[in-house]
């Protein structure tokens, strides 16, 4: 899948759409999810153009990948959930119902999140 430069997170990165920024460094940006599903629900995105975790894993440089993982950890510590615990989640593709085609990691925390996936 080709990267869509008009996806909503690309527009946030370009400053065309506002976000509630919680963290930024050379390689990553983090902001509050617009529809939070936990007391802490933050999205961490790389600044590079990657469609999903699959694209990022295949094409990002090792430096970008390391910087991104370090950013996720830094954001969680900054949010104060590193001690109490948190969950990260990245949707890729149709079965995961990925909505925005720019790689992002969700950080959920601030309450007990239960175990793994909800059963339906």
- 35-64 positions binding ligand AMP, by CB under 6 A: 35, 43
What gap in Å lies between CA 88 and CA 17, rounded to an integer? 24
Instruction: Determine the 3-state secondary structure of 92 from DSSP.
Output: coil
Both tokens of residue 12? 């946030």
What gap in Å lies between CA 120 and CA 99, rounded to an integer? 20
User: Any catalytic annotation for residue 104?
Assistant: yes
Binding of ligand AMP by 99 (CB under 6 A) = yes
Stretch binding ligand AMP (CB under 6 A), from 29-37, 56-64, 70-78, 109-117: 29-37
Binding site for ligand AMP (CB under 6 A): 8, 17, 19, 31, 33-35, 43, 91, 97-100
Active site residues: 104
């Amino acid at each position: 899948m080709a990267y869509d430069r008009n996806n909503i997170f690309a527009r946030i990165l370009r400053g065309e759409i506002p976000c509630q920024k919680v963290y930024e460094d050379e390689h990553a940006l983090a902001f509050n999810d617009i529809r939070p599903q936990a007391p802490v629900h933050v999205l961490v995105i790389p600044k590079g153009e990657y469609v999903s975790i699959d694209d990022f894993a295949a094409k990002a440089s090792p430096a970008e990948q390391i910087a991104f993982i370090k950013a996720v950890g830094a954001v969680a510590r900054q949010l104060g959930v590193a001690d109490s615990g948190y969950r990260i989640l990245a949707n890729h593709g149709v079965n995961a119902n990925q909505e925005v085609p720019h790689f992002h990691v969700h950080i959920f925390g601030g309450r007990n999140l239960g175990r793994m996936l909800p059963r339906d």
